[in-house]
Amino acid sequence: MASPSPSIDPEGVFDGLRWAPILAGALLDNALTMIAMFPITFFAAGAEAMSEDPATAQEAMEHAMDRPEFLALSFAAGAAITTFAAFWAARRAGVLHVRHGGWTAVVSALLACALFLLPGAAAEPRPPLWFEALGLAVMIPAGVVGGWLASRLPAPGRD
C-alpha cells in the first residue's frame, strides 16, 4: 500500500513566511490605530477637550478614556484596522494568507507592547488595563480573519 502524498503546507511555524509584508502590515496597523485614536478620543472628550485651559482639556481627555463611547469606538476601530492591515499584508505576501494575517497581528501586538514601554507612554491618558488586554487578545483573531479574507480573493492579474 502506498503512503499518502506529503502535505504541500509548510511544516514549521515560520516556514513559508515572507517577513517584509508582515512587518509592513504590523507598522501599518500600529500607525493607523494611533491616527484613529485622535478623533475618537476628541469625540468622547467632547467640547471640553478644546478648552483653552490646559488643565480642563487634560482632565476631559483623561475622563474620555473611561467613557463607553470611547471604549466601544476604539475597540471596533482597532479590530477593523488590524483586520485591514492583516488583509493588506497577506495580499502582499501572496501565499499562505491566513498564516501571514495571523503573524501580522502577532508582530503588531508585540510592537504595540514595545510602544507601551517607551518613556512617556504611561504618562499620557490611557484606557483601563482590562481594555488594553482585551484589545490585544482580539488582535490575533482579527489578523487571521484578515488573512482569510485575503485568501478568498483571486490572485491579482487572474480572472
Q: Is 48 exposed, middle or buried (0-12, 13-18, 19+ CB in 10 A)?
A: middle
**Mean pLDDT of the residues in the chain:** 84
- Mean pLDDT, range 134-158, rounded to an integer: 88
DSSP state of 94: -
Greatest Cα pair distance, the chain, in angstroms, is 82
Question: Has residue 11 been placed in a domain?
Answer: no
Question: Has residue 95 been placed in a domain?
Answer: yes
Amino acid at 102: G
Dist CA 155 CA 159 (whole Å) = 8
Q: What percent of the chain has pLDDT over 70?
A: 87
Domain range holding 75?
19-152
- Helix, strand, or coil here: 7? coil
Question: Has residue 1 been placed in a domain?
Answer: no
Question: Has residue 8 been placed in a domain?
Answer: no
Give 44-77 pLDDT, tens digit per residue: 887 787 777 888 877 887 778 778 888 899 999 9
The pTM for the full model equals: 0.81
pLDDT band, very low/low/confident/very high, at 141 (cuts 50, 70, 90): very high
Amino acid at 146: G
Tally the domains of the chain: 1
Question: Has residue 5 been placed in a domain?
Answer: no
